[in-house]
Amino acid sequence: MTDRALILDFGGVVTRTLFETHDVTERALGLAPGSLTWRGPFDTATDPLWVSMQRREITERDYWTERTREVGHLVGEDWTDMKTFVQRARGAEPELVLRPEARDAILQAKDAGIRLAILSNELDLFYGVEFRKRFPLIQLFDVIVDATYTGILKPDPRAYELALSELGLPREACVFVDDQKKNIEGAEAVSLPNVHFDVTRPAESYARALRMLGI
């Protein structure tokens, strides 16, 4: 058994962000191409609401609540939670939301004998059990720690400790990857080696994580 592990957040790290998959969302919801124009970190000029979030004028949850409401209205429905948005937008074709760079890194790590783990705040809550079961490469993961069931959300130190316990490895033998700064700060608080994933430069972020594991 290997003595190293790559611990990945799911949304944004393993999957492409909702900003990157507007075409998938539009097709799934029957919307005309180009209906969704907000691009978040990929083009802040298109997304003043995202800018407000970055300025901490609104929370991340506020941001996605508003986007969920807007998209629901586009299809003539009243959506009140992001779970509805994610499952309706992504449930039909899970393979289309897998980040290509994630596929490459996961396969490279597995080939090198690195153990794989997911540490997510809302994997089944947002995506649904059926989505997870059909998601490409999910069977390659040795450990999945999902706060949908544990009730322990990152950046709570117990979330990271639970993942390490499930892996049975010391923290210095692991690298944790997440796109949310607060979750990286949580990892730093428990001295877990980490990479702050940049969704606009995924290949670079994955390359750094693999280098840290000696690949």
CATH class of 5-16+98-212: alpha beta
Convert the pLDDT of each residue in 4-46 to its tens digit: 999 999 999 999 999 999 999 999 999 999 999 999 999 999 9
Please, which residues bridge with residue 118 across strands? 8, 144
What is the domain partition of the chain in residue ranges?
5-16+98-212, 22-93
- How much is the pTM? 0.91
**Phi, psi for 120 (deg, rounded to 5):** -125, 150
Convert the pLDDT of each residue in 82-98 to its tens digit: 889 988 988 667 888 99
